[in-house]
Chains A and B, each alone.
Chain A
Amino acid sequence: MSSISAGVVVFPGSNCDHDAFAALTKFEMVSPEYIWHKDTFNRHFDLIILPGGFSYGDYLRSGAIAGLSPVMQSVKNAASEGTVIIGICNGFQILCESGLLPGALNNNSSLKFICSDQNLRVEQNDSIFTSGYIKGQVVNFPIAHGEGNYTAPKEVIDTLEKENRILFRYSDIKGTTGAEANPNGSINNIAGIINAEGNVLGLMPHPERNADILLGNADGLTLFASVINSLSEKKVQHA
C-alpha cells in the first residue's frame, strides 16, 4: 500500500501537536512529520493538521497572528490543490482567521474556559472526515477552549446549513441540540464545519485526545480513520 504523507504544523504555543502526531502514527501507512511555522514548503502533503494550543499566546485574537505565519501561505496553497486540512481547536481559529474557513470564534458565552467531555451529533457522513460514522450518531469528544463560540453573518450560516457543511453539532447524549446542550454559545450549536470544496475541516472538539480506547473512548479515531481511508482509496484509484 502506498504511504500517506502527513504534516503536523507546530506554532509557538501549540500544545496538541504531539497528540495529533500520535493519533496519525496509529495508521501503518501514515508517516507523519512536524512542520515548523516559520518554514514554507513546496512538496506535496496528503494531509496537514493545524493542532490545538495557544499560538502566539492568543494575543490580539486567538489564531490571528498564527494565520500570518510563513507556513500558512504554503498551507493555503496546499488547500487550493486539494490537500486535506484539519484544524483542531486553535487550528480551527487559525483557519477562520486566515480565511480558509468562514466565520470567527468569539469568547464562550459563559465567560468561562471550558475543559470537559462533550457530546456531539454527527450531522453528515458523506464527507471525507465523517464517512466512518453513522449520520445522526452521538459521539463524545473532549473540549478545552475559552474562545469556541462560533459566529458568522446570517448569510454565511444559511449557506453552511444549505450546503450541509456543518459536520458536528454540540448535543446532549440523545443527540438533541439546543441551548442546554450548547457549551459555548455557538450559533446553531456549530462545533465543526468544512469549506465549500470539502477538503478543509475546522472543529473545536479534540478528536486526537480520544483516539485510543485507553483514553476512555476512541470516537476521535474514527475521524482520522475516515480521512486515511479516503486518501488510501484515492491513491489506489490513481495507481
Chain B
Amino acid sequence: MYSVQVFVKRRKSILDPQGKAVEQGARLLGYSGITDVRVNKQIDFTVNTEDEQEARSVANDFCSKLLANPVMEEFQIHLQKL
C-alpha cells in the first residue's frame, strides 16, 4: 500500500483571497516582512497497491479528475510505501 500526500495550490497568476486575508492578519500582528502568503490544500489518502508506478498513476488521475482544477490550480504528489 502507498500513503499519498497531495498538495494543491493555486497557480501563481491566480488570486488567493485566503492568502491575502492571512497576510492582513500578519500585518495586524506587526510582521511587516511577511509577504506572498498562499493558503494551499493538502489531501491525504491511501492507494491499495504494491506497485509504485500504479499508485502514482492512480493518484495523478484522481488529482486531474477531481482534486485540482487545472484552470486555477496545480498539484504535487508525494508517495510513501506503507
Interface of A toward B, CB cutoff 8 Å? 60-61, 64-65, 68, 96-97, 103-104, 106-111, 149, 151-153, 185
Contacts and interface: CB of A to CB of B under 8 A. Distances in A.
Given A64-B66, A106-B72, A109-B17, 13 more contacts: A64-B69, A65-B66, A68-B66, A96-B71, A97-B69, A103-B71, A106-B10, A106-B14, A107-B15, A111-B21, A151-B14, A151-B71, A153-B71
Contacts of B21: 111
Contacts of A61: 69
Interface in B60-79: 66-67, 69, 71-72
Contact of A60 (B10, B15, B66, B72): B66
16 contacts: A64-B66, A104-B69, A104-B71, A104-B72, A106-B10, A106-B17, A106-B72, A107-B15, A107-B17, A109-B15, A109-B17, A111-B17, A111-B18, A149-B15, A151-B14, A152-B71
A90 B67 CA distance: 18
A76 to B, nearest CB: 15
Interface in B16-65: 16-18, 20-21
Nearest to B16: A107
Contacts of B15: 106-107, 109, 149, 185
A57 B15 CA distance: 22
A200 to B, nearest CB: 17
Interface residues of B, number: 13
B71 A60 contact: no
Which applies to chain A's interface (DSSP): helix, strand, loop or mixed? loop
Name the residue among A61, A96, A152 with the largest chain B CB count within 10 angstroms.
A61
A109 B67 CA distance: 22
Nearest to B65: A68
B26 to A, nearest CB: 15
Contacts of B67: 60
B11 to A, nearest CB: 10
A153 B17 CA distance: 19
Contacts of B17: 106-111
B35 to A, nearest CB: 17
A60 B41 CA distance: 9
Contacts of A152: 71
Contacts of B69: 61, 64, 97, 104
A107 B73 CA distance: 13
Contacts of B14: 106, 151
Nearest to A149: B15
